[in-house]
Amino acid sequence: MIYRLLRKILFKVDAERIHSIMHTIGAFLSSYQIVWRTAAFFYRRYMPSLRSTVAGITFESPVGLAAGFDKPGELIDMMYGLDFGFTEVGTVTPRPQAGNPQPRLFRLQQDRAILNRMGFNNDGVERFVSALKKRKSPIIVGGNIGKNKDTDVSIAEIDYRACAQAIAPFVDYITINVSSPNTPGLRSLQNATELRRIIVAVMDQVHTSKRRLPVFLKIAPDITDELLRDILHVVNETHCNGLIVSNTTISREGLHTDVADVRALGDGGISGAPVHARAVQLVSRCYRLTNGALPIIGVGGIFTADDAYELICAGASLVQLYTGLIYEGPSVAYRINRGLDRLLRRDGFTSITQAVGSSYKNSVQ
């Protein structure tokens, strides 16, 4: 309610400007234990039904913050205070880069969506690691890695390996991001040959480090059935530990915002409500094609517990959100966690793991 009022004011300011102001405030608050511990005291409640072990990691809640919101890894402890079960920081690239020219972040309010073409703006992996070292809370942290814009796609694995090497001691899992639409050629890395090279390089790096971290692959929603089969084949072959489904979409189909207005904003990926149905469908396809054997993190258009539950029943063991935090405010994870607990009880489940893929299981019974 309070956030709904505040949102009216926040949404009057340029989207990137307000994000940067809120990030600065959040990072300042996150650096004080008293602040995030107090938030945790009010927000965090241990709910046994939401606890699960995925890819060898135990999560107290299946609701995580998606990559891109906290690119530099400065809000980690605050996310613990706000009742997130995990947070994914990055995307980080080996060297700092400015990203695409501004403006590059827009709200599509009629669609409860965001259009962005940020282009992996970040301070590079060295600064990123310094931020990770400051983390104090016990929240699970994923590190999302990418390649620099000026690294040729033919040698992209060098960038992914370098990032994996630098962050491995400080994160709980690694995400290979080959699915952002805003770095030229990046999505071509989802093709089997390139993908195999990158996953092998990262897995190899992870195996040489002391911690055996799970590695997830984040995929785009705009892929053909054939490409999905190829991706799953490579994932299986390389023993990659799971999928994150999905990144933003380049499709402009089904939007309520005026077509000419959307066109005037230019290129970029759309997140929020318009990607939800696609994400559910893709999670469901991945779950079916792998017989539920591969852990899936479902992302796309989660605003409520019902949205999260739909992805879980389609086959996601965990979920993440970004746009939902912008539209629903800082209590979004708290409300989703409580809502999920209620939905599980309504359906006679005692644990979130029983709900994972239940739509599929019911359909084959």
Among all residues, which ones are annotated catalytic? 180
User: Residue 342 Cβ, how far from ligand FMN at the closest point, in Å?
Assistant: 21
| Residue span binding ligand FMN (CB under 6 A) among the ranges 126-134, 297-305, 334-342, 357-365 | 297-305
Among 218, 241, 242, 287, binds ligand FMN (CB under 6 A): 218
Instruction: Count CA atoms within 13 Å of residue 265 on its CB side.
Output: 20
Instruction: Count CA atoms within 13 Å of residue 267 on its CB side.
Output: 10
Binding mask 96-125 for ligand FMN (x = CB under 6 A): ---------x--------x-x-x-x-----
Q: Give yes or no for residue 91 binding ligand FMN (CB under 6 A).
A: yes
Nearer to ligand FMN, 16 or 349 (CB): 16
From CA 208, how far away is CA 194, in angstroms rounded?
22
Q: Give yes or no for residue 324 binding ligand FMN (CB under 6 A).
A: yes
| Residue span binding ligand FMN (CB under 6 A) among the ranges 29-37, 65-73, 160-168, 349-357 | 65-73
Among 93, 144, 205, 238, binds ligand FMN (CB under 6 A): 144
Burial class (CB in 10 A: 0-12, 13-18, 19+), 336: buried
- The structure tokens listed for 321 are 């959100």
> Segment 239-258, which members bind ligand FMN (CB under 6 A)?
247-248
Q: Give yes or no for residue 302 binding ligand FMN (CB under 6 A).
A: yes
Is residue 214 within 8 Å of 164, Cβ to Cβ? no
φ/ψ of 27, rounded to 5, equals -65, -40
Among 148, 151, 180, 257, binds ligand FMN (CB under 6 A): 180
Is residue 26 within 8 Å of 281, Cβ to Cβ? no
From CA 212, how far away is CA 206, in angstroms rounded?
6
User: Residue 350 Cβ, how far from ligand FMN at the closest point, in Å?
Assistant: 28
Is residue 273 within 8 Å of 114, Cβ to Cβ? no
